[in-house]
Chains A and B, each alone.
Chain A
Amino acid sequence: MAAPASTSMTRTTRRTTLFRAARAPRVTVRRSPVSRASENGSTAVVEAKKERSPSPLEKGGTLDGEKALGKDPAGATKAKLNKKLGTASEQTFEDERWVNQTWDLSQFSGSDGNTDWDAVIDAEMERRRILEENPSPSSLKEKVLFDTAIIPWWAWVRRFHLPEAEKINGRAAMVGYFMALVIDGLTGTGIWDQQNSFLGKVALNVAVIGIMFIGSTSDLGKLKGLWEEATFYDEQWNKSWEGVERPEDDE
């Protein structure tokens, strides 16, 4: 425990670098010849041979370098480390509206006398942000009672969906209009006829749903990643059966 703390001590000025990179210089040592290898092949190979083989902690799925970006124990653990070094501004959550481990809704009433749910959402967002960066011990005496489900659905929709809805509807309309124009130009079927035909209705729905899933090109990558994740484990299991005839169970 002492070693990583002391290495980071010397680098406190570079607090913004990744936690792992900051506390474990040996990782960067291992990484450097590899990155150089891409630039000039032959010398780097010799260098790479000199490297010690990675420790068990660095193998077997440990992410490193670029791949580890954003997957490090960022906020929470960094904050803890800062606390140990005495440089962290320790933020503990306190709010006068947080009474008996829940939000006191009576303090959230808006001008019209109804609960201002937007304010509740804001307050809870802030509470979670603080807790994420400064995890607090669970306690037997103080059990958290607040349940996000008490905020009505329309408050969520108004807050988070409506600003998005504008964008989604706008895109769907543009894509739909453009496609209708193309079809009109190609086949001579007017917009009104397209609306009335079954095919046209199907195409309309496909366009709207498609826009919901693929709002931008980056979403395509995301969907592909999701599909890979969903099937990855199957691949790992099926490896033992590749090129092998599977015996029957009753054999």
Chain B
Amino acid sequence: MKTISRMTMVAGTKAAAAPGSVRARAPLATPNRIGNTARSAVSQMAGAPAGRVVVSRRRDLSLNAVYQDGQKLDRPLRVAIVGGGPAGACAAEECAKAGIETFMVERKMDNCKPCGGAIPLCMIDEFDLPSEIIDRKVNRMKMISPSNVEVDIGSTLKPNEYIGMTRREILDDYLRQRAEENGAKVINGLFMGMEQKEGEKGPWTMKINSYEGEEKKKVDLEVDVVVGADGANSRVAKIIDAGDFDYAIAYQERIRIDDDRMKFYENLAEMYVGDDVSPDFYGWVFPKYDHVGVGTGTVINKPAIKEYQDAIRDRAGDKISGGQIIKIEAHPIPEHPRPKRIEGRVALVGDAAGYVTKCSGEGIYFAAKSGRMCGEAIAARSKQGTQMIGERDLRTYLSKWDRKYWPTYKVLDILQKVFYRSNAAREAFVEMCSSEYVQRMTFDSYLYKTVVPGNPISDLKLLWGTVGSILRSNALRVSQGPTVTFGRK
């Protein structure tokens, strides 16, 4: 159904281009330019004089006139979004809603990304997600310390509060379809590169290997603004020289376990800490729709990731024993934002920008939200697509984003630095999480994504208790196991 509608979209633009005989008269190096054909279609619809639509190469250039920031456009603004995950889809939806001509490039429409797939409660409301995409409602969590002290978290949750577990292929597809319904043009293609032929205020020409139709076709797409939502290994980031980030490798095995054991994980997620499962992160057992995801991650010792994976399987022990591994996945997870997140008329969002929290490693909500905020900024600053925007306009998104979410990221950074240092600190972490006050605060901030200041007296008590826990567990530590520091690498 969906592929058919996409095919007709392409066919439709071609048909619209045919009367203007774009390709027949313009001696273009590349045979097929989506940007041209689509634009001619749009400008005809907008009632632009037909004579202005491409007659020769020279005229073509005059149409591509270099627009200064803020200059009025006689056609809608053209935005290309590279990547069709939550970040890309949400950015595309906002742009398309505002009447901007939006293209979204995604190669794998059924990409089943290795990912915990947990989304906070507020995302369901904010992004209007239907209940079908939630596979499981997790309302209990277990934290397990290096010496196997277990703490059950979740008793403070209200009956209607839960962490939603989703499958990424379902969630991404839903968000993409919604963008498409709002008017975004989804291109099944691989983004190969892009260049600005007419200086830094000129349009971007994107090279795409299109897989629309039967076979691969090389096409060029011409746009004004590019949003890079293409994940941790972003090509867009590379092209604009956005710099690198440190990253963790997350390794996950999807394991199908028998019904009795699965019942145990029905609405329970487990989180293991200890330097056996990861020197600077945690290991997990998350329930998926009919199996569990068992995994771990690390930044500082990535070559040993398989040993850590063995360790997490051992630690989960009997609870997952006898299971069958149905899939193995690994993926880089950014540790911090890239040095450059905006360059000229190119912006990065989601994992491509590096918006993953420390400590919990959460990224779906932040990706979707950053995509949406970027789309909103483009729509607002271009006056619904009627004028050209520049770096400063895109930076309004960055500024809002940093102001809004910096505290959340910083708090989680501090938590990671304090509590993932050593086994002793991890013991203290688990001890601390047994306090109901801590559970309420962490769940509130996770589910609703706001850092709510707590009761100062309880905070002081908590500080006192935490310092006590850390001192005690450090005192008990005789073996000289590893201690991690989180400074410059």
Contacts and interface: CB of A to CB of B under 8 A. Distances in A.
Given A149-B472, A228-B488, A237 B406 contact: yes
A138 B488 contact: no
Contacts of A240: 337-342, 398
Contacts of B486: 229, 232
A14 B489 CA distance: 28
Nearest to A153: B468
Contact of B146 (A132, A143, A160, A251): A132
B interface residue count range (under 10 / 10 to 19 / 20 to 34 / 35 or more): 35 or more
Contact of A249 (B335, B342, B399, B410): B399
Interface of B: 144, 146-150, 243-249, 264, 272, 274-277, 279, 299-308, 310-311, 314-319, 332, 335-342, 358, 392, 395-396, 398-400, 402-403, 406, 409-410, 413-414, 417, 423, 427, 431, 468-469, 471-473, 475-489
Contacts of B469: 148-149
Interface of A: 1, 4, 19-20, 23-24, 27, 56-58, 60-63, 67-68, 70-77, 80-81, 121, 124-129, 131-133, 135-140, 143-144, 146-149, 151, 156, 159-160, 225, 228-230, 232-234, 236-237, 239-241, 244, 246-249, 251
Given A140-B264, A240-B342, A61 B300 contact: yes
Given A71-B484, A137-B318, A131 B473 contact: no
B476 A62 contact: no
Q: Which 6 A-B pairs have the closest CB atoms?
A: A137-B317, A61-B246, A76-B276, A239-B339, A236-B336, A57-B302
Contact of A236 (B149, B302, B337, B468): B337
B307 A77 contact: yes
Contact of B489 (A61, A138, A156, A233): A61
26 contacts: A23-B304, A56-B249, A60-B302, A61-B489, A63-B301, A72-B279, A73-B307, A74-B275, A75-B275, A76-B276, A80-B307, A125-B477, A128-B478, A128-B479, A135-B315, A136-B148, A137-B317, A138-B144, A140-B264, A147-B149, A149-B468, A151-B472, A230-B414, A233-B358, A234-B410, A236-B337
Best-buried of A74, A133, A135 by chain B (most CB within 10 Å) = A135
B479 A129 contact: yes
A25 B456 CA distance: 53
Contacts of B479: 75, 128-129, 132-133
B431 A148 contact: yes
A58 B302 contact: yes
A144 B431 CA distance: 12
B276 A73 contact: yes
Contacts of A228: 487-488
A156 B399 CA distance: 48
A244 B400 CA distance: 15
Contacts of B400: 249
